[in-house]
Amino acid sequence: MPVLERLLQRRLIVVTGKGGVGKSAMTSVLGRSLARRGRRALVLEVDPRENLHQMLGVAPSGGAIVEVEPNFYLQNLKPRHVVDWVVEKQVRIKMIAKRVMRSPIYHRFVEGAPGLTEIAILGHALRLARGELSGTPDIDVVVLDAPATGHGVYLLTAPRLFAEAIGDGPFAQLAGEVADYVADPVASGVVVVTQAEEMPVQEALELRRALAERFGREPELLIANGLYPPAPEGDGEDELTALWRRRYQLNASQLERLDRQWAGPRIDLPLLPIDGGAELVAALGDRFDSALTNLEEA
Amino acid sequence: MDLGSRLTVVVGSGGVGKTTLAAALGLRSAAAGVNTLVMTFDPSRRLKDALGIGNAEGNAELAVSGTGGCLHASLLDARATFDDLVARYAEDDETRRRILGNSYYRHLAGHLGGILEYMAVERLFEVASSGRYDRIILDTPPTTQAIDFLEAPTRIVDFLDSGALKIALAPWFDAEGGLRATSRLGFVGRGLEQFLDRVVGMQLLRDMSEFFRAFGPLFGGFRDRASETESLLAGEETRFVLVTGAGEARIPDTLFFARKLEEAGYRLGPVVVNRVHPNVAGSVSGDKNSAGQRLFRWLGDRDQRGLVALRELLKSEQSLVAMPLAGDEPTDLGSLDALGQELERRWVDEALRSS
């Protein structure tokens, strides 16, 4: 099945990659592209220091769902709120629930308990896509800008670990549901963003291996971002041209490395003379869209 | 260069080139005859090969050849440090087996908030107090905000003092593994019990409780070392080097970081803006209107604007060092040393300017 068709089927797409490769811009680009192809898409950000709204040229979310354009939404999520929601549901006496949530022990637990944040993030995405949250617009697909901490694969494996290590209770149940969802190759997918440099490529390849080992699947798509243009040939050797040529060659050799190790679909995007923000997302978005259409035809 | 410090901590967001610069600083320090250790996380294959530590395992300190025995490098392995701690502090074999076999420890303890960062600090403290080195250069782990790393010791102490540990260590279970009546916790306590029982789930509670009980003796040591490490980081002989990327978009992060370090009472050495594109006005051959030439002019301008803006926003006495984008990442000791010399030269120039 062509990449585009697969992406249009997914209910959850996790965008991951090493810090600093342009993951947020690519999350925006992918969400925009899917929305313009008729999917009701929501891009979900978890970083408490909001950033995605600038990429999309809208007001900060502050936790609320913000409409970017028709069928295209943005939300900044505080995982704490999701955990609070589970507590409120389980501890039915409101006053006691409030007291629990104010207690420092609870705070430590929510911040420190391993796997809980990941379950909260994915659980929220799951409920959004299933229409289980009241007062939210209908959403077909959630595109998640995965936190850059460590290897993105922990986000995906934590629910299973948690469910297996814990066994009972509402969080374990949610963890189990989320784990099934993440393992379902039709419902969810992973898009890996990289730059054609050694460390980001290293991390992209490690992520791919981890996905194969833990889930028996491949990323839907790999995006190589921020590529230098080809340097002019034989035009003398001023310093800049030499630097330009070396950076271009470095990109080329890392793209070759990707080619050798992964035959799956890849979209290459150039480094553009545009500061971040909506203008950059629009320019990269147009290139991404036509590349995606061409991948479909290939 | 202000390498007079006994501990240099290299901080900054992921992907800015911290690890390479830390290694370059290490080489220069060793070249001056100072017995130096570079502690690093997750270096690239090429950097590991350049340092000759390609096959290093679990915290080993390996001599970097060609440095006359003056430079050692060590890859931080948080999991190995954690396991070592268990082995070292467990009261007996039975306790050790119980912790290492505990399902909470095996699957999740490695992800306990801040624990890996804490383990790095633990390891730093161990090396620093061993007296094996005259200088340590510490590359910090790739967290979203590397400040997390520095706050880890304080967070652990807060955790110990918050009462969470007391709750976790309370005799929750009777001999049959059932939950004991704990009405003495009072009104809030009953809410918490409901929370723990219905929301967290009993199995997790049982595992966590066992884990923390087995870990009890370790925690006292954690607290002592956490405050000693804090004094080490805030000490006279420690300098922070803040590495950041070029361009205006990075400035808010850089300022945030610098302010956090200052608030925490740490001594900030230079802010290093890494991989600055050259200023190319008029210096290029070929078609000046090609897309590539326009891109490079724009990149040069962007990075220049970023530097100017950052200079204005930082305190005037704060030194700011710009490192140019190189054609290649260093692949051997020679090119790594050249990078170190370049950094040293620019650092000295800047020190002269700001004094």
Q: Which residue of B has its CA nearest to A226?
A: B295
Phi/psi at A40 (5° precision): -80, 105
Rounded Cα gap, residues B108 and A237, in angstroms: 55
pLDDT value for B173: 54
Rounded Cα gap, residues B314 and B76, in angstroms: 32
- Decide if pLDDT at A203 tops 90: no
CATH class of A3-297: alpha beta
- Decide if pLDDT at A44 tops 60: yes
Evaluate whether A29 touches A288 at the Cβ level (below 8 Å): yes
B178 within a domain of the structure (yes/no) = no
Residue A115 Cα, gap to closest chain B Cα (Å): 7
B228 within a domain of the structure (yes/no) = no
pLDDT value for A112: 61
Q: Where are the domains of chain A?
A: 3-297
Share of chain A above pLDDT 90, in %: 53
- Which residues touch B77 (CB under 8 Å, ≥6 apart)? B57, B58, B59
Burial of B34 (0-12, 13-18, 19+ CB in 10 A): middle
pLDDT value for A234: 67
| CATH number (domain holding residue B56) | 3.40.50.300
- Domain of B100, in residue numbers: 7-167+233-354
How many domains, chain B? 1
B107 within a domain of the structure (yes/no) = yes
Rounded Cα gap, residues A146 and A47, in angstroms: 9
Rounded Cα gap, residues A75 and A65, in angstroms: 5
B91 within a domain of the structure (yes/no) = yes
Q: Is B54 on the interface with A (CB under 8 A)?
A: no
Burial of A21 (0-12, 13-18, 19+ CB in 10 A): buried
Tens-digit pLDDT profile for residues B108-126: 666 655 666 777 777 888 8
Tens-digit pLDDT profile for residues B150-160: 776 676 666 66
- Best B296, B303, B331, B335 member to test A by mutation, with max A CBs in 10 Å, is B296
B173 within a domain of the structure (yes/no) = no
Beta bridge partners of B244: B273
pLDDT value for A229: 93
ipTM: 0.85
Rounded Cα gap, residues A272 and A278, in angstroms: 13
How confident is residue A240, by pLDDT bands cut at 50, 70 and 90? confident
- Model pTM? 0.87
Tens-digit pLDDT profile for residues B11-34: 888 778 888 999 999 999 999 999
B210 within a domain of the structure (yes/no) = no
Distances (CA, A) of B215 to B86, B195, B234: 8, 24, 28
A71-85, A131-145, A243-257, B141-155: the lowest-pLDDT one: B141-155
Residues of B within 8 A of A276 (CB-CB) are 249
Q: Which of residues 2-21 of A touch B (CB under 8 A)?
A: 18-21
Nearest to B203 among A18, A158, A168 (CB): A168
Greater pLDDT, B83 or B146:
B83
A21-25, A247-251, B39-43: the lowest-pLDDT one: B39-43
Structure tokens at B245: 């990327």
pLDDT value for A2: 87
